[in-house]
Amino acid sequence: MTQKQIVIIGAGPCGLSAAIACQQAGLDPVIIEKENVVSAIYRYPTHQTFFSSSDNLEIGSVAFPTVERKPRRSEALAYYREVAVRYQLSIQTYERVTAVLKKQDGRFAVHTSKKSGENKAYDADFVIFATGYYDNPNKTDIPGEEQDHVFHYFHEAHPFFQEKVTIVGGKNSAVDAALELEKAGAEVTVLYRGEQLPDDVKPWIAPEFLSLARKGKINLVYDAHVTEIKKDVVSYITGGKAHEAPSDFVFLMTGYRPDHALLTASGVEIDETTGRPQFAPDSMETNVKNLFIAGVIAAGNDANEIFIENGRHHGPLIAEVIAGRAGGNL
């Protein structure tokens, strides 16, 4: 078993920020990441522009220069790679954490599985969960959801040129995908169960989307309740009547959720209503001593509460607590 002072689970921006803060406090963190650094950002659509300005995405006091005020996905990927290199962070990539167990001596046994199939174990004084939520799409339980032509992520529009594409959802990711698909020449239908677009749809994309819908370039259906996804159609009910949307491909843009399996198995208590782990806001420590959380996982089911721009500040809070304990009694 490999001895480590601090194991950080997740190499997203908040995990990287926590590692930097710990390192600056004279501590010795290692990050374990099931894919590669900032893999959630890598999964964003290739054209993605961030809500936040670049200065609100900076970590480790490293400047984030961008062409426009709000950075693009490609710029963010390059920036966080550069931060990892500049701080020479210890990151174990393509290694999945399978269990975090509190031992009788108060330390943690962190079990992992590498891409090669090799199993490893770390003996750690402290553990920080910075696992995010974007890896876990909300499943709809609609019959046909698991078919190969049905997706929970939108990456790029080009493959859907002159194809019939149905999008289920009406929030930012759905609206954004619809605009890109229409631009690329797809025949787009958007099925949304609400009576109108949510107020929090980005104000710079909502007007264009609604204009295209009015002009018939996007088929927008409100109060649409999908009942089944077949090979070539999506069945839905609106106004009490059954309809079908011809569909070569389907995007279920129904949001994402945190995966609490590892946390609960570690003894962390989760509020059943909010999905929020039990933790102290001033230290980010959970009800399990020396086990901390950082980033959006602290928000529970409300992923709109914590972003990179505020989750990046969790690391310094955690590092201060750990440094105090590491200097005395653990």
pLDDT digits (tens, 9 = 90+) for 146-180: 999 999 999 999 999 999 999 999 999 999 999 99
Do residues 60 and 20 lie in contact, with contact meaning Cβ atoms separated by under 8 Å? yes
Q: Is the pLDDT higher at 179 or at 199? A: 179
Q: Rounded to an integer, what distance in angstroms lies between the CA atom of residue 189 and that of residue 55?
A: 37
Where exactly are the structural domains of the chain? 2-136+256-326, 150-252
CA torsion sign for 280, 283, 286, 288 is negative
- pLDDT recorded at residue 134: 80
Per-residue pLDDT of 38-58, as tens digits, reads 999 999 999 988 888 999 999
The type of residue at 48 is Q
Q: Is the pLDDT of residue 25 over 90?
A: yes
* Continuous H helices in the chain: 13-24, 39-42, 73-86, 172-183, 206-214, 261-265, 308-311, 314-326
Amino acid at 191: L
Q: What is the CB neighbour count within 10 angstroms for residue 15?
A: 31
| pLDDT tens string 272-297 | 888 899 999 999 999 999 999 999 99
pLDDT at residue 305, rounded to an integer: 77
Concatenated DSSP letters of 59-91: -TT-----SSSS-BHHHHHHHHHHHHHHTT--E
> In terms of Cα–Cα distance, which of 264, 246, 89, 103 is closest to 166?
246
Nearest to 5 by CA among 16, 217, 25: 25
> Is the separation of the CB atoms in 9 and 96 below 8 Å?
no
Tell me: pLDDT of 94 over 70.
yes
Say whether pLDDT at 116 is over 50: yes
Whether the Cβ atoms of residue 192 and residue 221 lie closer than 8 Å to each other: yes
Q: pLDDT (tens digit, 9 = 90+) per residue, 228-265? A: 999 999 999 999 999 999 999 999 999 888 888 999 99
Distance separating alpha carbons of residues 291 and 102, to the nearest angstrom? 9
Q: Is the pLDDT of residue 88 over 90?
A: yes
Which residues touch 324 (CB under 8 Å, ≥6 apart)? none
Instruction: Give the CATH number of domain 150-252.
Output: 3.50.50.60
Task: Please provide the average confidence, as pLDDT, over all residues in the chain.
Answer: 94
pLDDT at site 328: 46
Assigned fold of 2-136+256-326? FAD/NAD(P)-binding domain (3.50.50)
Query: Over 90: is that where the pLDDT of 307 sits?
Result: no
Whether 330 has a pLDDT exceeding 60, the answer reads no
Query: For the chain, what is the radius of gyration of the CA atoms?
Result: 22
**What is the predicted pLDDT for the residue at 208?**
96
- Do the Cβ atoms of 125 and 30 come closer than 8 Å? no
Per-residue pLDDT band for 218 (boundaries 50, 70, 90) equals very high
pLDDT of residue 5: 97
Place of tokens 């011809």: 246
> Does the pLDDT of residue 303 top 90, yes or no?
no
CA atoms of 33 and 112, how far apart (whole Å):
10
Mean of the pLDDT values across residues 7-22? 97
Whether residue 34 has pLDDT greater than 60: yes
CA separation for the pair 260, 251 (Å, rounded):
25
Which residues are within 8 A (CB) of 261 and not within 5 positions of it... i.e. 6 or more apart?
A: none
| pLDDT value of residue 222 | 97
Average pLDDT for 303-326: 90
pLDDT score for 177: 97
Q: Note whether 2-136+256-326 and 150-252 share their fold.
A: yes
pLDDT at residue 185, rounded to an integer: 98
Check whether 329 has a pLDDT greater than 80.
no
